[in-house]
A = this chain, B = another copy of it.
Amino acid sequence: MILPATPTAGGDASVPSQSPPAQSPGDDLIELLFFAYRDFVGDPDRILAQYGFGRAHHRVLHFVDRYPGLTIAELLDILRITKQSLNRVLKDLIEQDYIVQKTGTSDRRQRLLFCTARGTALAGDLIRVQTHRVTRALAEPAGAASEGGSSEGGAVSAQNFLLAMIEPEERATVRRLMARRARSAV
């Protein structure tokens, strides 16, 4: 099966769909997750750029820092990328002395990964800005964000958390956008 199968109503008309999309309780969370993640990775990105590294380097550095002795296979399973993709960034990090490899003791085929002091320092800087954002989000007074949200179970706190993860100056914009949808969906 390669193409559509058009599950819903594969319209072919080049006509603007008039019906507004159906609403579902988790819909806000979907968008909030996008915005939260966008800003969440934005902080480290700025630091990484100063080192000539990217997001891929960050992920490798982070997990090796948090879980010293990680093997290549474990890392591949965590990141869900191919060996070739991993090797490209891992090579950078090893050549520039952020990470070292040590041959496994019980299984000498394995390469156990460790951060050097330099690697730990950078990983620390990166996790610091992210921890700051998360900690602030957790400390935010509940409801400082959602206002008139429908309270159902854990939905509210998950929603609050994600909204609080968004860059403060951007929250108004996001809230305004999402309000726009709520209005038109009446």
Contact = CB atoms under 8 A, between A and B. Distances in A.
A8 B124 contact: yes
Interface string A1-35: 11111111111111111011110111101110110
Interface residues of A, number: 81
A4 to B, nearest CB: 7
Interface in A138-153: 138-139, 142, 152-153
A103 interface: no
A25 B138 contact: yes
Nearest to A133: B26
B17 A120 contact: yes
A121 B6 contact: yes
A177 interface: yes
A126 B124 CA distance: 37
A154 interface: yes
List the number of copies, as a whole number. Answer: 2
A32 to B, nearest CB: 10
A125 interface: yes
Nearest to A99: B16
B16 A118 contact: no
A115 B12 contact: no
A186 to B, nearest CB: 14
A11 B121 contact: yes
10 tightest A-B contacts by CB? Answer: A11-B117, A26-B134, A16-B114, A158-B161, A157-B157, A17-B120, A11-B118, A8-B121, A154-B157, A24-B131
